[in-house]
Structure 1
């Protein structure tokens, strides 16, 4: 069983890695996961939502209790990035470019796909288990020591990881830290950063409406909250209403705001640029990353001749100028990797298309990418191809609306499952983050008259609404499975040897479900689109790339 060590954390030095029994990596993960459901933490969140300013005040308090100060964060040379769609990809491009120049980089992002260590990266790699364990107990120990004097309060999961990331980057003496905002910007816990070197805002859209508001203007106001006086900020082209708010926020805060040019406007000796991340929408993310990295480099290398865009007198967004790309920048764009986003994996006769699209705009981009990429694969297929959708949606998102966007892609099967990797409970505490029931998604899509019919593994049927309309002529067979692994094994029908580990056990599939697999067995190839949730994509990658769990 996963338990915190019985020995008090007060009796070990926070300056060295703990050596006491029960304070190993798995125990750190179990302890971290308790911060997700702590009752006092939930009460704190409710109080703070009524007064968002309390969020940053609380974060500063937790930071100080962990032995850090906001002044120390000034030395991390931070690039701070927010947005609705593409902020993680923008950060990945930016970090890769600056790492290609030889800088020692830190990168904090969320969510993780397989293991929580992915959120905190040094030189592009997830922090190792040994370092994670060492720094986890240092930070947790300091907070635990002081909780009695603060009504037993401990930071919630994301806050703790943010503090841990800052601590890791300071201890590892990174040259810069690329920090991705969690949710929003103005009141996100990463916004205790006082003096970033440059800020970025990727494409905006409607998401997290219960927290950020239900209009583009409200969401843009939150995102623009990361602007800082005199600190240059860049954004991609935004909807007119969102851009108006960003301009106003920049004016009030006195942050110079610049709009990125099109990627084609940059000059390069190599001809057309190649991006390591697939999808047309990545081109605006790449342009934003170029502006962020170029601005950071100028401040680093020419501190007395900083970019002209840093004048705090700018009162509206200006058009940022393109520039000639260095070979290092070109290589950085091409070498960028960001798993689970427009990612293609081929395992023999089965090709997986993975994209954690979870908003309407990101799903539109996903559909465009999938249509183009799948069509290319189908042109070279050895025979008939069967298309399968594996979908899951979590939280407050409109699952039905996203599914409607996927209907024209003409899937032969639509498969649903919860974010549970295996039906048999896993011993890996990292997977506690995936325990989201499929019913949460299905109950938001119920309708008794107009639907796809869902056949679940217990022989029952449920109705799934598609925006109040009947699915067009070609209706896919639609099934629900109890876990990700059982869904994958049914889809692939033994054609993917990676999924054939005898140690993996799943609940048996009923004969009525097995009988529906004839098109899969007869197809020369199987193409599977996995989308709707990054947690789903992460659970799939855990099985398709077992090394990612080590």
Structure 2
């Protein structure tokens, strides 16, 4: 290759994505082999680039999973540790990204620079291309997209000599590719969302068994309050795997009055509470106790400084007066409920004095999920919250316009490189089948809503252009973007919000 730039790295990385047809086949088969082989294959890929799993213990890992809130908890935990130990170097590995894939690998809270991402990317790529010896011929020479990024993160963190690593599980826990760290310093499980039972087609005990697979021998095993049947399984898994302790951490009351500006929403208090306890477990395990206090000033400062873009985030448009974006990648019934409660809190998107401007909803959801139930959840939660706060508005007229668009980034039919998504059926993209279904569902839900104010659009850029048309009026405009983190990332990219949002 003539060059080995960040763009080149992203282009190579995108070739490792599974296409929509492959994913459909995996889902149809129950996904068994794809997940069950992830652990052993990831170990093999790691060894092929020159490491053993035991090398990962030097990264001092806090491993976090759950069905909701795991990313936020990871961000809180990293920020607390950085606040307590400002001279340390921290590593944070999360997914998905919003605008740039390098967001998944953060050093001291910031996305790894493009030059370093490219450097470490091609070091891993070349080693895998050169060392093709495999235990099984069924194992592909190159790992899939997420597995490659996991190996890349491990390589980057080891090369950079991070002092503490916060590792967010991709999917599940037991078989996830992040679970190859033999002895993390602490492990934590966030809420087991009840609506994932329907989405994943599994029971709470089955989900809990998977998540509990991150617990390790002689390592603290923490979790938050869970459904009774899920908690029992987590307790059993902790005992089975030999955890040094199993603790159900309580919500910390003081956090309800702590302004978590970077991560708004009352539901974040539980995530922040788990992060506080994980940080204490981390310092205690390293015999470098942070403090006797549960919430010292360094912890509070770390929580306040946490930024996690695309989750209950308010962004004032830097280029257009009167335009404010409300960004939340909620993609389950429970997370949409939390999102809607956030925006209908007085002073966020509504005022006790009544409506003072226009509001737009931009929505999309992943194919296969029930869009109509998601939209019903938004509408019903708005109605109940307006009544709760005694705001004289109707849920049916809360939004002046609704836009249903695909996650395709640009009007000329392409994604930004980092946002390329081969997992979506091209047929669905071209036909706008899902978006038309969403529009029909919205019309059925609110028959009085003007059809002229319901827009089905092919790309994020089309959606942004429609918002800018509306924004030409003199009154304030509030835009809620939700239903998909990929959609939120596309909006940040196309609307030019990166400098203020990320």
Q: Shared fold by TM > 0.5?
A: yes
Contact 1:107–1:121 under 8 Å retained in 2: yes
Query: Which residues of structure 1 form unaligned runs of 5+?
Result: 6-20, 308-321, 455-462, 496-520
Contact 2:311–2:327 under 8 Å retained in 1: yes
Contact 1:388–1:529 under 8 Å retained in 2: yes
What is the match of residue 144 of structure 1? 129
Distance 2:371 2:405 in 1: 13
1:368 to 329, 341, 355: 341
CA 1:40–1:376 in structure 2 vs 1: closer, same or farther (change >3 Å)? closer
- How far does the alpha carbon of each residue in 1:17-74 deviate from its partner, in whole angstroms, 9 at most, with x for none? xxxx232221111001101138999799979724744221111111111111101001
Contact 1:386–1:523 under 8 Å retained in 2: no
- In the TM superposition, 1:151-190 aligns within 5 A as 151=137, 153-190=141-178
Displacement, 1:485? 1.5
What is the match of residue 301 of structure 1? 287
Moved more, 277-286 or 322-331: 322-331
Contact 1:206–1:214 under 8 Å retained in 2: no
What is the match of residue 352 of structure 1? 325
Displacement, 1:478? 1.7
Give the match's secondary structure for 1:404: helix
Contact 1:185–1:226 under 8 Å retained in 2: yes
Q: In the alignment, is residue 134 of structure 1 matched against residue 119 of structure 2?
A: yes
Contact 2:360–2:399 under 8 Å retained in 1: yes
Displacement, 1:443? 4.6
Distance 2:21 2:102 in 1: 25
CA 1:302–1:98 in structure 2 vs 1: closer, same or farther (change >3 Å)? closer
Give the match's secondary structure for 2:420: helix
CA 1:120–1:57 in structure 2 vs 1: closer, same or farther (change >3 Å)? same
1:407 to 379, 386, 392: 379
What is the match of residue 96 of structure 1? 79
CA 1:386–1:48 in structure 2 vs 1: closer, same or farther (change >3 Å)? closer
CA 1:52–1:426 in structure 2 vs 1: closer, same or farther (change >3 Å)? closer
CA 1:221–1:478 in structure 2 vs 1: closer, same or farther (change >3 Å)? same
Aligned-CA RMSD value? 3.3
Distance 1:263 1:442 in 2: 45
- How far does the alpha carbon of each residue in 1:127-167 deviate from its partner, in whole angstroms, 9 at most, with x for none? 00110111001000000112376755210000000000000
1:119 to 104, 108, 118: 104
Bigger Cα Rg:
1
- In the TM superposition, 1:124-523 aligns within 5 A as 124-147=109-132, 151=137, 153-206=141-194, 213-255=201-243, 256-264=245-253, 272-276=257-261, 277-302=263-288, 323-347=293-317, 348-372=321-345, 378=351, 384-408=356-380, 409=382, 410-426=398-414, 428-433=416-421, 436=424, 439=428, 443=433, 454=439, 463-464=440-441, 470-471=445-446, 473-474=448-449, 477-493=453-469, 495=471
Give the match's secondary structure for 1:301: coil
Contact 1:104–1:175 under 8 Å retained in 2: yes
Displacement, 1:434? 7.8
Query: Which residues of structure 2 form unaligned runs of 5+?
Result: 383-397
Displacement, 1:126? 0.4
Contact 2:76–2:303 under 8 Å retained in 1: yes
Displacement, 1:471? 2.7
Distance 2:436 2:349 in 1: 35
Displacement, 1:486? 1.3
What is the match of residue 392 of structure 2? none
Distance 1:36 1:358 in 2: 21
What is the match of residue 313 of structure 1? none
Contact 1:212–1:218 under 8 Å retained in 2: no
Moved more, 483-492 or 172-181: 483-492
- How far does the alpha carbon of each residue in 1:476-517 deviate from its partner, in whole angstroms, 9 at most, with x for none? 73211111121112123274xxxxxxxxxxxxxxxxxxxxxx
What is the match of residue 12 of structure 2? 31
Contact 1:198–1:233 under 8 Å retained in 2: yes
Q: In the alignment, is residue 538 of structure 1 matched against residue 489 of structure 2?
A: yes
TM-score (norm 2): 0.85
Distance 1:405 1:34 in 2: 37
Distance 2:434 2:484 in 1: 15
